[in-house]
Structure 1
Amino acid sequence: MLLATVPVSVARAQSPSPSATPAIAARVLAPGAALDAAVQAATLVDAGRAGELWDGASPVAKRAVTREAFIAGITAARQRHGTLADRQWLSVSRQFHDGKQGAPAGHYVSVELLARASGGRSVRELVSLRIDEDGTARLSGYVVE
């Protein structure tokens, strides 16, 4: 998985209501804000601006991959698929990782997009956002299949 962050205006996560259960008492990012951030990230990749994604990366993401490796990985993955168009969202989901199974501990939101590639093939993009300690959602992953 390639990791990065969105240097665009991603909404700050909101604190939950007092009635929220302890299991979901972490900050929550609204699904619409997550979708907007994911589309913004994909649009930057479309424009060949993957370096800007890494520049705004979550510290967790920056520790996982160098800027050069991130740009090279995204560029190679996207070149295999050609130009992407007609993006539609498939899912928006929240996850909590405890840090024991690979992903750094924290709250994440994943957005799955479906796009049409050159030649009419369907391509799936997965954009992951991490709610950093300051409450800001930053892109923590981008995968295209």
Structure 2
Amino acid sequence: MQGKNLSDIIEAYLKKILADDEKVEISRSDIANLFDVVPSQINYVIKTRFTIQNGYTVESKRGGGGYIRIEKVKLLENLDILDTLITAIGDSISQREGKAVIGTLLANELITDNEAELLISATNKHTLSIGNKVFENKIRAKIMISILNDLRYKS
């Protein structure tokens, strides 16, 4: 697994489990023991790689008998997910987070490969470069929210 860091390996493992089921319940400590890492490393992977922007919902319960439940969501099966994405974007979104949203739209077949490439080009930092990262992220958020609102009415 040359070129992959431990977070990538843990992410790949969890996604492999999710390939068999749309929802998985795991023990943070069991996964940490499996990879010989501290539980906070598992938290980091889940917090950064299994976000609503990436097409996942996460629920967790801490303490004895605690668990982490990760679920792959289908966007159009539940329009509340589009609302959740819009809320998560808020009034600002980074290029990396924007790409994650576009990847989720593509994975859920709400946009085509060509549309995804166009959206990435339209929202990349070079296109939106106005010398102020705060404004660039705000413009990107407006574009992404507009796209998500339009997808509500896609049949």
Measured against the shorter chain, the TM-score band is 0.3 to 0.5
TM-score normalised by structure 2 residue count: 0.32
Q: Which has the larger radius of gyration?
A: 2
- The structure with higher relative contact order (CA 8 Å, sep 6+) is 1
